[in-house]
Structure 1
Amino acid sequence: MSKALVLFAHGARAQAWAAPFERLQAQVRAQVEAQSLECAVTLAFLELMTPSLPVAIDALVAQGADDITVVPVFLGQGGHLLRDLPQLTDAIRAAHPGLRLQVVGAIGEDPGVQAAMRDYCIRSLA
């Protein structure tokens, strides 16, 4: 089984907006490699930037991935994650019936991420 991880972000018109997500992708990829995990790590966007989630997953499947986890790099479960993402994943599953596709919760709802954001906010007072 070939694994892949897709960091799924919103997208924006300004190319510079993607920089933190590209850094996150590079950091995750480096950690995956440091742990000798066999897992492709890619970045996909909902809109305004490329690749889209379906295009990114099509490419991963073409490279042999059959177990893909999507991590929404969103602060919370808003309309995009409640409506748009399920529609996208339904279409992806229909296009790739043998694919194991897992979508985890929004990154901003993770307790560890919340703690890191809390600490950042407190440090901003200094």
Structure 2
Amino acid sequence: MNSILILAHGSQIKETEAIVNSLVEKVKKRTGSEFVQAAYLQFSEQDLESGIRRLVDEGADSIKVVPMFIFDGVHVTQDIPGELEEIRAKYPHIKIKLSRHIGDDDRLADIIADRAASV
């Protein structure tokens, strides 16, 4: 079973997790998959490894990790790949792929233009 793990940065303000949970539901509808979870790099018990464990417990044999990050910073280039390497060693029977982060996507320009037009 294919699954998706949306990986956000995380925040000390716990209410922000509602935004990512909303995105999880939207991705479920968009993909037709019930096997979409959220995880956070920092400030949450729902970290990357526990997110993967939850999907494995649900029966996932293939997990696509999608980092919800804009910049090619240390988290994207070092932290996430490093953590995934350690996690893959714990789950050698699970295919774990890291997608490209959100980055400089043209669709973000549309959102920014829409937001600017609304004020």
TM class by shorter-chain length?
0.7 to 0.9
SS of the residue aligned with 2:65? Answer: strand
Residue 81 of structure 1 aligns with an amino acid whose one-letter code is: V
Residue 75 of structure 2 aligns with an amino acid whose one-letter code is: H
Q: Does 1:17 align with 2:16?
A: yes
Residue 115 of structure 1 aligns with an amino acid whose one-letter code is: A
Q: Percent identity?
A: 29
**Shift of residue 106, structure 1, vs aligned partner:** 1.4
Tell me what 1:120 maps to. 114
Aligned with 1:95 (options 90, 94, 104): 90
SS of the residue aligned with 2:103? Answer: helix
Tell me what 1:46 maps to. 41
Tell me what 2:31 maps to. 32
Q: Does 1:85 align with 2:80?
A: yes
For 1:122 and 1:62, the matched residues in 2 are separated by: 43
Pairs aligned (count): 119
Aligned with 1:55 (options 50, 56, 70): 50
Q: Is the 8 A contact 1:3 1:39 kept in 2?
A: no
Tell me what 1:67 maps to. 62
Q: Is the 8 A contact 1:9 1:44 kept in 2?
A: yes
SS of the residue aligned with 2:55? Answer: helix
Closer/same/farther in 2, CA of residues 22 and 78 from structure 1, 3 Å limit = same
Q: Is the 8 A contact 1:5 1:39 kept in 2?
A: no
Q: Is the 8 A contact 1:75 1:108 kept in 2?
A: yes
Unaligned 5+ segments in structure 2 are none
TM-score by length of 1: 0.83
Q: Is the 8 A contact 1:43 1:51 kept in 2?
A: yes
**Shift of residue 118, structure 1, vs aligned partner:** 3.9
Q: Is the 8 A contact 1:6 1:41 kept in 2?
A: yes
TM-score by length of 2: 0.87
* Superposed structure 1 runs of 4+ greater than 4 Å apart: none
